[in-house]
A and B are shown apart, each in its own frame.
Chain A
Amino acid sequence: MQKNLPHICPSCSTPLSVKCLVCEKCQTEVSGIFHLPMLASLSNQEQNFIVEFVKCSGSLKVMAQKLELSYPTVRNLLDDLIEKIETAQKSIRQ
């Protein structure tokens, strides 16, 4: 079962940070306060979109063919993602 990475506190809605990372092979634990990258705040679908976009060399036309969607649909998804990222960047700066 794929789990979604929580990135917002359910109690006070501020961005979460990572306290502990674990090596699955040797059980080494690394503790500290590590801030999650901005991309982690995006949904799995949005992250997959970004990965596919990079793999298509940034071509919306190729993306549209690969996803079997129309060009404006893919462009709209990208524009929505850009808006979300800009909003996330603004809140980080604040």
Chain B
Amino acid sequence: MNKWLINPFIYIAGAKALLWGWAAMLVTAIIGMMSYTHFDGVIDVHTAGKAFSLGYHLLEQLVDWSCATLLFWGAGVLVSKSSIRLIDVAGTMAFARIPMIFAAIVGYGIKIPGQLKTVDEITRAITPMVVVCSLVSLVFLIWMITWMYNAFKVSCNIKGGKATVVFIIGLLFSEIISHILLYFISNR
């Protein structure tokens, strides 16, 4: 049970993981739409002041997942001694996004209506509930990053310090690229 919580990719990868991951991304998008929770970056969780369409929430999930998949697959091809499959990287990265379902649910507790413009409005909006929900969201974010790290290690067969360094670099780049892409898409 502990192994499933920390590294499920010992047991699941490829197309099976991809289908589960896509289903989770769909559920996350639906809940996110209702709780005003946005995932505007690979490792970003934010609350928005207004609702967006389901299509936009799905697009966020797709962009986040595909940025991570392509960057980590590229890193794996360059760094790994093994012959890696794109389907394994894609599947494990999709599956790794499952904890975001819970972050989207927690978003109900942080639902802040409208745009906050003054310091006074912001101060009033940060209630104990908002603080608690933010910390709980952080736990799920850390869980997702842990799964992404293990997904990268298993699907690309990279171990030790090399895996850690390459993962951090890949995560940073995928976060930046996903942010830029979503910024341009939302401002079109």
Contacts and interface: CB of A to CB of B under 8 A. Distances in A.
Interface in A48-75: 68-73, 75
Query: Size range of the interface on B?
Result: 10 to 19
Interface string A33-61: 00000000000000000000000000000
A83 B10 CA distance: 20
Query: Size range of the interface on A?
Result: 10 to 19
B81 A73 contact: no
A71 B11 contact: no
B10 A69 contact: yes
B81 A79 contact: yes
Given A76-B82, A79-B82, A70 B10 contact: yes
B154 interface: yes
B37 interface: no
Interface of B: 9-14, 17, 81-85, 88, 92, 154-155, 157
B82 A70 contact: no
Contacts of B14: 70-72
A70 B11 CA distance: 5
5 contacts: A70-B9, A72-B13, A72-B155, A75-B83, A79-B157
Residue of B12, B13, B14, B88 contacting most chain A CB atoms (<10 Å)? B13
B82 A73 contact: no
A68 B13 CA distance: 12
What DSSP secondary structure best describes chain A's contact surface? helix
Closest 4 CB pairs of A and B: A70-B13, A76-B157, A72-B88, A79-B82
A83 B82 CA distance: 11
Contacts of B157: 72, 75-76, 79
Nearest to B7: A73
Nearest to A77: B157
A73 B92 CA distance: 12
Given A70-B14, A72-B92, 9 more contacts: A70-B11, A70-B17, A72-B13, A72-B14, A72-B155, A73-B13, A73-B154, A76-B154, A83-B81
B15 to A, nearest CB: 10
Contact of B9 (A73, A79, A83): A73
B87 to A, nearest CB: 9
